[in-house]
Structure 1
Amino acid sequence: MRIVVGAVAAATLALTTLTFAPSAQAGAAYDWTPVDVDTDQGFRALDALDAKTAWVGGDGGGVFRTTDGGHTWDDVSPPGSEELLFRDVEARSATEAVVLSIGEGEASRIYKTVDAGATWTETFRSAEPAAFYNCVDFWPGGKRGIAMSDPVDGEWRIITTDDGGDTWEIADTSGLEAPGEVGYSASGTCLVTAGARSAWLGGGGTASNIYATHDGGRTWSSADSTLTPGEAGGVFGLGFRNPIQGIAVGGDFGLEDDGVDRAAYSTNGGRTWKNSTSDLGGFREAVAWVHGRTAIAVGPNGSDITHDNGRTWKPFGPAQTRFHVIDCVKGSCWAAGAGGRVGVLAR
């Protein structure tokens, strides 16, 4: 999506430690702990493997990796990538990862490393001037993957891989007609997968629909997200904890303090969506499941938490804890934002 590039990348963000009590069911308090990277690049690409290992990608072509919980970071950026905007990273291990750069035409690229970033191979470069790739994800096992672009000729463009991202092919799809709709490259979560063959994508523009596939991307169906669409509004982040239960968050990135009707949830695999019964604290760019019924949404003016699968939300922490992207795994959450900011939320 063209209008989101660099929209808030120049913001100077401060991160402070915070504590909150999620609920009696959660059984523990959480703290945001700063583990910032020594760079001023803004981060919107993040993939966490566990409490020790995570990868982040930046708006200055940077890719960084930690294997010690964020105490130290290695700059493992692809050579000559300084002009690229990395907005999604998907890691299979501490040594293997795929990163997506966004932009019109050839600026949309995918790189892969299998040696912890010592070397990179460019495995995809868009040959379509009208394409603008936003997000990429993989199904369990890391072999089958999928990436999406803004609509080309009125239909979402999908590419898929069956070899871990070594090669990509344009998919022959049906059900993805979306004239006037756009994707948002805000957090690498406008396209997500779950289960063996399910995936969902969302966006905004003339409509704010969420598209679902349950056959690996061959056919798709659409549903109204209930989030308000607009030139800068719609669905920015999706999160499914299984092929049935999902959450969508978004809003209008020009109205970051407006949290009214900015979240929705699905209990039937995305066939239908219901608007959350309480509002978010503002515009949110990403959401991730922590454990059980608990999920966290993040955005440029703070964070929110739900303990009932997205039906109701409560803000937590000061507004200074601003992030663009969040990823949770094995009870721990990582988040990242502008100015090289990274935080860990561990049980």
Structure 2
Amino acid sequence: MRRLGVSLTPALLTVLVPGLALALAVPTSTAARPDAKPGGPDPFRDWWEAVVDADQNFRGLAAVSGKEAWVTGESLTDGGSARVYRTTDRGDTWVDVSPDGTEDLSFRDVEVNGRVAHVLAIGPGEASRIYRSNDGGASWTEAFRNTDEDAFYDCMAFYGGGARGLAVSDPVDGKLRILSTEDRGRTWSVLPSKGMPPSAGEFGFAASGDCLVTAGRSAFLITGGKRSRVLRSDDRGLTWTATASGIPAGEAAGGFAGAFASPRRGIAVGGDFGDANDTEDTTAYTRDGRTWTGGADLEHVGEDVTFLRGTRYAVATGDYDGSAGSSITTDGGATWRLVSELGYHVIDCAGKVCWAAGSKGRVGRG
């Protein structure tokens, strides 16, 4: 396994390879927009951004704490390797902890519970894989490799404590497929499909790794395509109920990601990758975990969303085809306020600290 140190200083980001020091970028600090209203938590008031690996498109992120975060991506170079980076010092340095043999793979999700980390590679057939590390990324094992050419895994999530987890594939034989683990990700098995509603033409978007999320004993699927729905399971993925999210469906449209502060309080965001500047009806929220109400429109595509504190404050972000920005809600998703024109593919918060990651190896913290 190749290990690569990345050091961020106030003036310069340097990638450190034995015998080589290459300056890549100058970190950027940005405050909230001048017209942003004060009040409530706003990580973009004191935000910095830097390039960790310009060859990577980051769409996987795990904010472990204010000091520790993991990002995963895919190479922008044909035949390049998918990479995993980890920081334990607030983003001052980043270490490449990638598994070996990841050429042509696309890492779209990373989940971390203590020293155990899982990374999901997406794609048809054997391109869909799950790698597992129990030593903070020092070594990896391949815990799952998909052998069904009709399956395409999109997102992964673990329940609290990390013992049980799920992953979701695009429909196989007309139904979304669920993969399950009950031994902290060491082994995975496909669950029976009889408890899944018909879902042909419906799928989860691998935009940020958050089309599948958990809260308490509940799991939620955010979908798009032929239908735009939120599916809920209260029995570890065996049976699911589906409710329309209100976010418009389409060939490349629907809900892209969800976040839940509790099994009753949640937010879904989305848009249309075919027309990213169409930001009408891009959010929805729930107060009971089962019925959904349309929230205010974002001013940018909604690729990801995360709660910042409690059930009221959340942050949404997106950056696709010129539609970019980050917004905050202070009422659980009913209204939104644009706080930065910086947009990312994925965002996650730990305590009062938020991390974000996006195109061309960009990572931000605030």
TM-score, normalized by length of structure 2? Answer: 0.86
Instruction: Assess if the C-alpha contact under 8 Å between 1:76 and 1:118 holds in 2.
Output: yes
Please state how far the C-alpha of 1:201 moved relative to its aligned partner: 0.5
Q: Tell me, what secondary structure is at the counterpart of 1:42?
A: strand
Secondary structure, aligned partner of 2:126: helix
In structure 1, what residue type is equivalent to 2:239? T
- How many correspondences in the alignment? 327
Equivalent position of 1:92 in the other structure: 113
Give matches, 1:251-290, under 5 Å: 251-269=271-289, 271-276=290-295, 278-290=296-308
Match of 2:157, SS? strand
1:45 maps to what in 2? 60
> In 1, are the aligned partners of 2:43 and 2:354 still within 8 Å (CA)?
no
> For each residue in 1:288-318, what CA deviation from the matched residue of structure 2 results, as whole angstroms up to 9, or x when unmatched?
0001311010001111110000001111122
Measured in 1, the distance between the counterparts of 2:42 and 2:259 equals 23
What corresponds to 1:147 in structure 2? 167
Query: 5+ residue gaps in structure 1?
Result: 1-13
Alignment of 1:51-70 (within 5 A): 51-60=66-75, 61-70=82-91
CA 1:28/1:206 → structure 2, altered by over 3 Å: closer, same or farther? closer
| One-letter amino acid matched to 1:31 | D
Q: Supply the distance in 2 between the matched residues of 1:124 and 1:22 (Cα, whole angstroms).
A: 47
Q: Which residue of 2 aligns with 1:342?
A: 363
Which protein, 1 or 2, shows the higher relative CO under an 8 Å CA cutoff with sep ≥ 6?
A: 1
Aligned twin of 2:150: 130
CA distance in structure 1 between the partners assigned to 2:44 and 2:340 by the alignment: 12
Name the CA distance, whole Å, in 2 between partners of 1:331 and 1:135. Answer: 25
Paired residue secondary structure (1:151): strand
Structure ranking higher in strand proportion: 2
2:24 — aligned with what? none
Counterpart contact for 1:324–1:336, Cα < 8 Å = yes
Could you tell me how far 1:27 is from its partner in structure 2?
A: 8.8
Q: Distance in 2 between matches of 1:15 and 1:232?
A: 32
Structure 2 residue 255 is the aligned partner of structure 1 residue 242: no
Q: Which has the larger radius of gyration?
A: 2
User: Do the aligned residues in 2 keep the contact of 1:84 with 1:101 (CA within 8 Å)?
Assistant: yes
Q: Which residue of 2 aligns with 1:19?
A: 32
Residues 1-347 of structure 1: pairs in structure 2 closer than 5 A: 16-19=29-32, 23-26=38-41, 30-60=45-75, 61-93=82-114, 95-173=115-193, 174-195=195-216, 197-269=217-289, 271-276=290-295, 278-292=296-310, 293-300=312-319, 301-318=324-341, 321-345=342-366
Q: Deviations over 1:64-119 (max 9, x none)?
A: 000001111101111011211000000112x3200000000110000001122221
Contact 2:58/2:345, CA 8 A, preserved across alignment: yes
Q: Percent identity?
A: 49
Q: Which secondary structure does the structure 2 equivalent of 1:19 belong to?
A: coil
Root-mean-square deviation (CA), in Å? 1.8
Contact 2:180-2:189 at 8 Å conserved across structures = yes
User: What CA deviation, in whole Å up to 9, does each residue of 1:7-28 have, x standing for no partner?
Assistant: xxxxxxx965123666534499
Cα deviation for residue 255 of structure 1 reads 1.9
Aligned partners of 1:22 and 1:29 also within 8 Å: no
Aligned twin of 1:10: none
What amino acid maps onto 2:315 in structure 1? I
* Residue 279 to residue 15, structure 1, CA distance change in 2 (3 Å): farther
One-letter amino acid of the counterpart of residue 304, structure 2: A
The letter for the 2-side match of 1:17 is T
Q: CA separation of 1:316/1:26 partners in 2, compared to 1, >3 Å: closer, same or farther?
A: closer
